[in-house]
Structure 1
Amino acid sequence: MNDKQQIPHPQHLAFPQAMPADDEIDLRELFGALWKGKWIIIATTFIFAVGGVLFALSQPNTYKAEVVLAPAGESSGGGGLAAMAGQLGGLASLAGINIGGGGTDSKAMSLATLQSRQFINAFITKHDLLVPLLASTEWNEGSGELVIDPELYNTETKQWIREVEPGKSVIPTDWEAHKAFKEVFSTADSKDSGLVTLSVTHYSPIVAQQWVEWLVADLNLWMKDKSLTETKRNIGYLEQQLQKTDISDMRSVFYQLIEDQTKNLMLAEVEAEFAFKTIDPAVIPEEKAGPKRALICVLATLLGGMLGVAVVLVRFAFRKEDTELETRN
C-alpha cells in the first residue's frame, strides 16, 4: 500500500517548539524603555534622596552608656559566699532546706531578675523615670537638659496631658513603662568570658550613664535583700527544728547549719556588690550611637531608584501589551 501513516520525527517529540517571537524579552527594547523613562527614575530617586536626608536630620541623637560586669560568685573563685554555701549543702538537704550557692545559677537568676517586669517597674517608680522615659524628645546639649514634649507632659503643673483612647489612663501604666524601658535597655552575656555588658540608650548621655549606674546598684541591693530574707527564714526554720528534736546528732547538724547561715548573713550584709562586680564602669558617652544618618540616606536613595525603575518597567509592559492588541485587531 502506498498510503503509509507518517510517524512524527523523534526530534519533534523530544523538544518543544520554540516560543513565538512576540513572547521573548528584547533586552535592547527593555534598556531603551529605561532610557526613555530616565527622567522618571531620576526624579523619583531625587525625591526619595531629599526625603531621606530630611528624615535623617530630623532624628535626634542618641547615646549609649555601657558597663561591664562579672558575676560576684564566679569572680571570687569559689570563695566567700559560694564556698560557704557549698560546705554544708548535704547536711542542709537532709534537714529539708536549700542554702543556695553562687556560680552560673545565681548569675542566671540575677539576669532574669534584671529583665523582670517587677524589678523594672520598681526601678522606674523608685527613680521617677516616667517623664524622661516616655515624654522626652531630645537633649539640649547647650543647657544639658531634656526637651519634654508639651503635648504629653506639662512641666509647670507636673501633670500628664497626653491624649489617649477612651478607657485608657492619661498617666502611663506600668505596662507602657516596662515596654518603653525594654526598648532603651539591653544586656549581652558573653558565654566565653562569663562577663555581662549592660547598656542604656537615651537622648541624653548623662541620663544614659546615670541609669546604668542605678541599675547595677539597685540589682545588687535587690538580690542582697532577697538573699538576706531567705537566710533569715532559713535560720528561723532551723531554730524551730532545733527545739523539736532531742537527738544529739541532729542537734549538732542544726547547730552547724545555723552557724553557716549566720556567716552567710554577716557576709551578705557587708557585701555591696552582691550579684555583680563592676569591671568597667559606665562613663558619659561623648559620641552618638545613632541615628545612622548616612545609612538612612543611602537606603532612601536606593529605594527611590528601585521604585523609579519599577514604575518605568510597568508602564513599558502596559504600553507593549496595548500595542500588541492594536496590531492583532
Structure 2
Amino acid sequence: MPKWYRAEAVLRPVSEVMPNRLAAMEQPLNVSSLVEQILPTSRAEELMSTVESFQFSLAMVKNHHLERGLLGTKHWRPWNQHPDPSWEIFRTLQKRFSCDYSISTGNLTLYYQDRDRMLAQSILGFYIDDLRAKLREEQVRTTTATAKSLRDEAGSTPDTLLQQQLFQLIADQLQQQKLAMVDANFAFKVIDAPKASDKPYSPSVLMVSGLGFVITLFISCLIILTREPWTYGEGERELALASGRETRGDPAR
C-alpha cells in the first residue's frame, strides 16, 4: 500500500479590531461587533470557509503551478475524454486538505496529505501564504473604499466639527491599511509552522494487520463451510452403498 504523509500547521485567528473613534460612532448600530464578541469562533469559521473555497483552492494551485502534480494521469484517461480539470483538482484537494478549529484553545489547525513528505509540507505553506495575501488584499480594498467614502462625506458637509471627526476616521482607516500591508500577523498568527512527520500517516500498521487477520479468518471459515457439506455427502453415499450390499447379500462381498 502506498505511504501517505500528513503535514500540519497551527494558526491563531486574530479578531478584527475596529478603530476606537469609528467604534464609538457606530456603537449603537454595529451589531456585527457585538456578535464578534459573543461568538469568537466567527473569525475562525471565516478563515476555514475561505481556505476551503473553490476559488481560493484553484487560485493557489495556479499561483504555484501544482496542476500537473494534482491531476496526474486522470486528465488523459481514454474513458474520460472531456473532464473538467478545475473540478478534478478541487476534488483532489478536498480529499487531501482539511482544517479543524478548537474552541478550548482558540487555534485553527490545517492538514494536508501527500505521498511526498516535503511536498505536503510545502503545499500547506502555500495555503498559509496565499490566505494571508488574500486577507491583506481584502483589508486594503475595504479600508481604501471606506477612506474614500469618508473623504467625500467630509468634503460635502459644512459642519467643521464633523469634518474634523471624519478626518480622524480617515486617518484611522489609512493606519489600519498600512498595518495590514506591513504586519504579517494582522489576520492570524502562525503558532506552529507547517511540518510533516517522518513516519507515514497512512496506512496504519495496526489497522492493516487487524484487517488482514479478519479477512484471513473470514476466508478460512468460508472454505470450511463450503467443503463440509460436500465431505458429509460423500460419507453418506458410501454408507448407503454399504448398507445396500448387506441387505441384498451382495455376492461381491
TM-score of the aligned structures, taking structure 1 as reference length: 0.61
1:85 alignment partner AA: P
1:94, distance to aligned residue in structure 2 (A): 7.9
Q: What is the alpha-carbon distance in structure 2 between the residues aligned to residue 317 and residue 250 of structure 1?
A: 98
Q: Cα RMSD over matched residues?
A: 3.1
1:251, distance to aligned residue in structure 2 (A): 2.3
Q: What is the alpha-carbon distance in structure 1 between the residues aligned to residue 111 and residue 146 of structure 2?
A: 36
- Aligned counterpart, 2:215: 303
Structure 1 residues 237 and 94: CA distance shift in structure 2, 3 A: farther
- Aligned counterpart, 2:117: 205
Please state if 1:126 is matched with 2:126: no
Please state if 1:69 is matched with 2:11: yes
Q: What is the alpha-carbon distance in structure 1 between the residues aligned to residue 10 and residue 213 of structure 2?
A: 38
1:187-215 deviation per Cα after TM superposition (whole angstroms, max 9, x unaligned): 12111010111111100011011011111
- Aligned counterpart, 1:88: 22
User: Which range is displaced more, 212-221 or 253-262?
Assistant: 253-262
- Aligned counterpart, 1:113: 50
In structure 1, runs of 5+ residues without a counterpart are 1-58, 74-80, 136-151, 154-159, 324-329
**Alignment map for 1:246-285 (pairs within 5 Å):** 246-285=158-197
- Aligned counterpart, 1:33: none
1:186, distance to aligned residue in structure 2 (A): 1.2
Q: What is the alpha-carbon distance in structure 2 between the residues aligned to residue 164 and residue 114 of structure 1?
A: 32
Percent identity between the two aligned chains: 24
Equivalent of residue 223 in structure 1, options 127, 132, 135: 135
**Alignment map for 1:10-159 (pairs within 5 Å):** 59-73=1-15, 82=17, 84-92=18-26, 104-135=41-72, 152=73
Q: What is the alpha-carbon distance in structure 1 between the residues aligned to residue 222 and residue 168 of structure 2?
A: 80
Count of aligned pairs: 229
TM-score of the aligned structures, taking structure 2 as reference length: 0.77
1:263 alignment partner AA: Q
In structure 2, runs of 5+ residues without a counterpart are 237-253
Q: What is the alpha-carbon distance in structure 1 between the residues aligned to residue 104 and residue 67 of structure 2?
A: 36
Please state if 1:214 is matched with 2:126: yes
- Aligned counterpart, 1:43: none
Q: What is the alpha-carbon distance in structure 1 between the residues aligned to residue 189 and residue 61 of structure 2?
A: 22
1:186 alignment partner AA: S
Q: What is the alpha-carbon distance in structure 1 between the residues aligned to residue 124 and residue 13 of structure 2?
A: 16
Equivalent of residue 244 in structure 1, options 156, 159, 163: 156
Q: What is the alpha-carbon distance in structure 1 between the residues aligned to residue 113 and residue 53 of structure 2?
A: 19
Structure 1 residues 253 and 106: CA distance shift in structure 2, 3 A: farther
